[in-house]
Amino acid sequence: MNTPLIRFFGSIQFAVPLLASIVAILIGATIYESQVGSTVVQHLIYKSPWFGILMFLLAVNLFISALTRYPWRGFRKAGFALTHIGLVLIIVGSAGVIHLSLEGMLPLREDLAGNNQIRVEGDLLEVMTPEGETEQRDIFIRPDGSISPSSVLGLSLLGYAENTVKTVHFKEGGATDNVALKVRLTSARMSQEVEQWLGFAPLPYRRVSLGPAELVLTVVESEEAAQEKVATLADTSEGNYFQAIATSSGKLYYATHSSQGFQSGILKLNEPIALGWADFEITLEEQLTHAQIDRQIVPVGDRTVQGTPAILVKTETGTQTWLPWGEPTTIPVPDGEILAAFTPKLFSLPFQVALQDFIVERNEGSDSVAMWTSKIQIQDPHQHISSDRTVWMNHPTWYQGWKIAQASWNPGDLRQSTLQVKREPLWITLLTWTGSALVVVGIGTMFYGKAIHKSLTHYPSPVINLGEN
């Protein structure tokens, strides 16, 4: 214990810069967490090897500092040792909480059966090759969009987009006759431009609603049938619509109606047609005769557009594909198809939780929320147990070591509630509480031990009255 190296690791000269570094890191981590979220900070800082080394060195410093004062005679030395050993136990327990505990969110609805799938921190990528080989890996998405690991079972992970939308296009190459038209609507006055595909198949693309107006595609056998269709529309027109009429020979007609009346004619490529809806014009940009549908995932930077997170992957042959979150995707390769899924990380509880009722209490005379409560039922078929519990803010319930607490709720749907479910090994809890108790006892011993001992062991001298002679 008297070697220079050991004395240095237990010295105040080592402790001060180490503590200053840890405090600075914790302050920075708190600020960074407000910007990127707890998942990123947990992965990059609290669960990182370098932060673990710093905390280990702090524990070593505290432990050696306590041992160098052995034997612990006197209240100050004993209290000093108890406090330092308690801090070491707290550090060890905190490391156990970070690396060994399990925590997740459990969404529940009153109109659904019990749920045992909790959403835990992190995401998964599962890949299956054409040969049937499968691999499932935890993936971490950095703030810059890069992904760790960089590849999974031959798929290179190129990047991440927080917001993507599905776009539908048509392309030539279908096995059967299938007319598809790409049109563009523009309004100079409103500075708007909309690209839209119409297709005879699948059925939903024959008629597309654009607010109060509709775009329609009709296919007929001959030009005579097309002209009859136009004449029928002219006699019965109402509302705002644009209808394209395609013949089997590939010739296109159109009919459109608005508050300004009805008009029709031959639909030609790249020739704008005034629709009569404000100053909107429609232009045919592409015509396909053997169209097949082509769905694509496209990243969008506009945060007002509600989309889905996705990761970009590349096969060994160079094919790039976006994998939307929660949706299995097939990727064609020369020898078959790769099945890949970018999904949330889930954990199955050994029991189910069902939401019986969700109650929102409001302050008297106002709509402000005072309290919200989840009445749940824990269903454990293995133990043949069905237990009704009530959970509200700061009042969790426990079952077989699992802590179940109220996490959040949806003001727009009072049949829904989200619970936080957490479990950590019992020895970690005992270690942390023991360390906390030792710190309290140690501080009390250092500062008040001598005075308390003196008050308990000091007895006043008896007064002897000998009386008067």
Per-residue pLDDT of the chain (469 residues; tens, 9 = 90+): 568 888 888 889 999 999 999 999 999 999 998 888 888 888 889 989 999 999 999 999 999 999 888 888 888 889 999 999 999 999 999 998 888 888 999 999 998 889 999 999 889 999 999 999 999 999 999 888 899 999 999 899 999 998 898 888 898 988 889 999 999 999 988 888 888 999 998 888 999 988 778 999 999 999 999 999 999 998 876 889 999 999 988 999 999 999 888 999 999 999 999 998 888 999 999 999 999 988 788 888 766 777 889 999 999 999 999 999 988 999 988 989 999 999 999 999 999 999 999 998 888 877 788 888 999 999 998 889 999 999 998 899 999 889 999 998 888 888 899 999 999 888 888 999 999 999 999 999 989 888 887 888 765 656 556 555 4
Contact 343/334 with Cβ under 8 angstroms?
no
Dist. CA 456–CA 454, nearest whole Å: 5
Contact 310/342 with Cβ under 8 angstroms?
yes
Domain boundaries, the chain: 4-101+426-457, 104-116+348-423, 118-165+301-346, 177-289
CATH 1.10.3470 for domain 177-289, yes or no, is no
Model-level pTM?
0.64
Q: What is the pLDDT of residue 24?
A: 96
Angle between helices 75-100 and 49-67 (to 10 degrees): 160
Q: What is the pLDDT of residue 467?
A: 55
Q: What is the pLDDT of residue 69?
A: 83
Q: What is the pLDDT of residue 64?
A: 92
Q: What is the pLDDT of residue 458?
A: 64
Site of tokens 């708190």: 30
Dist. CA 290–CA 181, nearest whole Å: 11
β-bridge pairing 213-220 and 240-247? parallel
